[in-house]
């Protein structure tokens, strides 16, 4: 455990001291910077002070597990783990932090029971201590690549056990972090458990100083299905009866250009494309692109439902991906036609949609490699997308194979939940 570790070596102590000085500067500048971001509409008006460690939400009684993920996809991947831990210890309560505005808006509709969301405070001692004084976690679980040295040091000083799960670190990221090796060695030292997505990440984390490391796989396949308003789902199924639906989800400009080309190649008017952009602030420009291509979209934000002659529905709303994927036969997962690195393929897989993706899947390389090896996803180009959408037999088979992988992932999450619950020092009802 962290409180039994040997004293850090001199380079680590110096790195911690230097990072602490950076945190002091952050504490001076942050309030003004956040207020300027608020004035530009980049912070949520009622919640920006959470990044300074303040909270209007009371701490729940009993044992509390704090889990952190940087953004939407990473945070949603933690939901299956939360449910598994709750099954083993029903008294546990959960706090999920993230850093992005979109993650807060979508998580509000997809949080597991007994779970609250807050923004992660900035990595400065003043804000972190205020946050920790309020929440007093019994276990802290970091995920993927988003570990914050200041938060880890402040938590370790209180004797709270910490873990890193679903960990991944690319070769490029490893090269950058190796330049600050003493700092990352100091940050990884207090982690009592590190579980990586694959062997490459495990080796790189070991080289940076991680201990007690395993490589059990990704959490994303075991995440629970995205939530949905069942009444709305049935209403839309009735309204769209007879249409064949495919979704382009979490899209960026390159994905939308590929979708336009595919719709121009599809000669069956029964096909309806639902476009769900990653950033709905781009909705007007996306609508203009489809209008220019001769396919004016219906817009969800305006309460419009596509008529028989409408070929595109622009889903310019937050938190409804569970609805769109349930309506679809096929899903093009966005981020693959730009320099984005792809997005989470398991969300549509969990809901029975066949998975298509563009060439760039760097941020989800392990996930897509697993799907490809099982014949459960298909890489497409702009010129092959339309053909892939209409290959019904192949798509049905891909969706079934992906469902098998989802079921297998539940075993990994169950075992990880056992290991995490064992780290909590305080007994139930203490």
User: Do 91 and 158 share a structural domain?
Assistant: yes
Can you tell me the mean pLDDT for 263-271?
Answer: 95
| Residue 347 domain flag | yes
Predicted confidence at residue 217, as pLDDT, reads: 85
CATH number of the domain to which 328 belongs:
3.40.50.2000
User: Do 211 and 245 share a structural domain?
Assistant: no
Of 4, 150, 127, 155, the closest CA to residue 67 belongs to 155
User: Do 64 and 16 share a structural domain?
Assistant: yes
- Is pLDDT larger for residue 75 or for residue 235? 235
Q: Please compute, for residue 203, the number of CA atoms within 13 A of its CA located in the half-sphere on the CB side.
A: 6
Dihedral pair phi/psi, residue 26, rounded to 5°: -55, -40
User: Do 134 and 55 share a structural domain?
Assistant: yes
User: Do 158 and 11 share a structural domain?
Assistant: yes
Predicted confidence at residue 1, as pLDDT, reads: 42
For the entire predicted model, the pTM comes to 0.77
Tokens 């932090």 belong to residue: 97
What's the angle, vertex CA 143, arms to CA 158 and CA 172, rounded to 5? 115
* Residues near 332 by beta carbon (within 8 Å), at least 6 away in sequence: 246, 247, 248, 249, 251, 255, 258, 259, 356, 357, 358, 380, 385, 389
Predicted confidence at residue 366, as pLDDT, reads: 84
User: Do 106 and 48 share a structural domain?
Assistant: yes
| Residue 225 domain flag | no
Of 2, 426, 424, the closest CA to residue 192 belongs to 2
Tens-place pLDDT, residues 100-137: 888 888 888 888 999 999 999 999 999 999 999 999 99
* C-alpha to C-alpha distance for 355 and 378, rounded to whole angstroms: 6
| Residue 425 domain flag | no
Predicted confidence at residue 4, as pLDDT, reads: 58
| Residue 119 domain flag | yes
Q: Are 184 and 177 in contact (CB under 8 A)?
A: yes
Q: Are 343 and 73 in contact (CB under 8 A)?
A: yes
b/e map of 299-328 (b: 16 or more CB within 10 Å)?
Answer: bbeeeeebeeebbbbbbbebebbbbbbbbb
What domain range is 289 assigned to?
230-409
What DSSP character marks residue 120? P
User: Do 200 and 253 share a structural domain?
Assistant: no
Predicted confidence at residue 2, as pLDDT, reads: 43
Burial class (CB in 10 A: 0-12, 13-18, 19+), 21: exposed
Q: Are 325 and 347 in contact (CB under 8 A)?
A: yes
Among the candidates 172, 195, 217, a domain finishes at 217
Label the pairing between strands 139-143 and 115-119.
Answer: unpaired
* Residues near 305 by beta carbon (within 8 Å), at least 6 away in sequence: 236, 239, 240, 298, 313
Q: Are 223 and 350 in contact (CB under 8 A)?
A: yes
Tens-place pLDDT, residues 319-357: 899 999 999 999 999 999 999 999 999 999 999 999 999
| Residue 426 domain flag | no
Average of per-residue pLDDT values in the chain: 93
Give yes or no: 74 in active site.
yes
User: Do 266 and 149 share a structural domain?
Assistant: no
Which residue among 43, 50, 74, 320 is the active-site one?
Answer: 74
Predicted confidence at residue 103, as pLDDT, reads: 84
Among the candidates 160, 186, 217, a domain finishes at 217
Counting the structural domains of the chain, the total is: 2
| Residue 430 domain flag | no
High-pLDDT (> 90) share of the chain, %: 78
User: Do 365 and 280 share a structural domain?
Assistant: yes
CATH number of the domain to which 181 belongs:
3.40.50.11720
User: Do 331 and 207 share a structural domain?
Assistant: no
Among the candidates 217, 252, 269, a domain finishes at 217
Give Cα 357 distance to the centre of its chain: 17
SS3 (DSSP) at 335: coil
* C-alpha to C-alpha distance for 220 and 366, rounded to whole angstroms: 11
């Amino acid at each position: 455990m962290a409180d039994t570790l040997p004293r850090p070596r001199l380079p680590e102590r110096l790195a911690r001291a230097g990072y602490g000085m950076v945190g002091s500067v952050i504490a001076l500048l942050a309030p003004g910077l956040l207020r300027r971001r608020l004035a530009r509409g980049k912070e949520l008006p009622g919640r920006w002070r959470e990044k300074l460690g303040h909270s209007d939400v009371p701490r729940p009684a009993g044992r509390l597990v704090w889990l952190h993920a940087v953004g939407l996809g990473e945070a949603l991947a933690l939901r299956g783990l939360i449910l598994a831990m709750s099954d083993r210890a029903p008294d546990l309560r959960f706090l999920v932090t993230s850093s992005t505005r979109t993650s807060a808006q979508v998580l509000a509709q997809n949080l597991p029971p007994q779970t609250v969301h807050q923004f992660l405070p900035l990595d400065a001692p003043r804000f972190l201590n205020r946050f920790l004084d309020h929440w007093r976690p019994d276990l802290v679980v970091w995920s993927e690549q988003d570990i914050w040295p200041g938060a880890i040091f402040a938590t370790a000083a209180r004797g709270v056990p910490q873990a890193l799960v679903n960990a991944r670190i690319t070769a490029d990221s490893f090269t950058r972090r190796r330049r600050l090796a003493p700092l990352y060695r100091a940050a990884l030292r207090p982690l009592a458990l590190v579980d990586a997505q694959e062997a490459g990440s495990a080796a790189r984390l070991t080289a940076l100083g991680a201990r007690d490391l395993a490589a059990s796989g990704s959490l994303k396949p075991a995440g629970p299905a995205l939530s949905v308003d069942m009444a709305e789902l049935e209403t839309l199924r009735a309204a769209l009866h007879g249409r064949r639906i495919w979704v382009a989800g979490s899209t960026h400009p390159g994905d939308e250009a590929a979708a336009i080309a595919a719709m121009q190649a599809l000669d069956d008017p029964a096909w309806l494309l639902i476009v769900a952009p990653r950033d709905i602030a781009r909705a007007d420009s996306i609508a203009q692109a489809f209008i220019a291509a001769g396919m004016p979209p219906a817009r969800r934000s305006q309460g419009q439902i596509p008529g028989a002659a409408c070929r595109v529905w622009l889903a310019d709303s937050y938190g409804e991906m569970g609805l769109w994927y349930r309506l679809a036969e096929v899903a093009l997962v966005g981020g693959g036609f730009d320099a984005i690195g792809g997005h989470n393929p398991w969300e549509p897989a969990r809901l029975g949609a066949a998975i298509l993706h563009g060439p760039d899947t760097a941020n989800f390389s392990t996930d897509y490699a697993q799907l490809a090896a099982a014949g459960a996803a298909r890489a497409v180009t702009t010129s092959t997308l339309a053909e892939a959408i209409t290959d019904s037999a192949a798509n049905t088979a891909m969706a079934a194979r992906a469902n098998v992988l989802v079921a297998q992932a539940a075993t990994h999450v169950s075992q990880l939940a056992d290991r995490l619950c064992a780290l909590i020092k305080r007994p139930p009802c203490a």
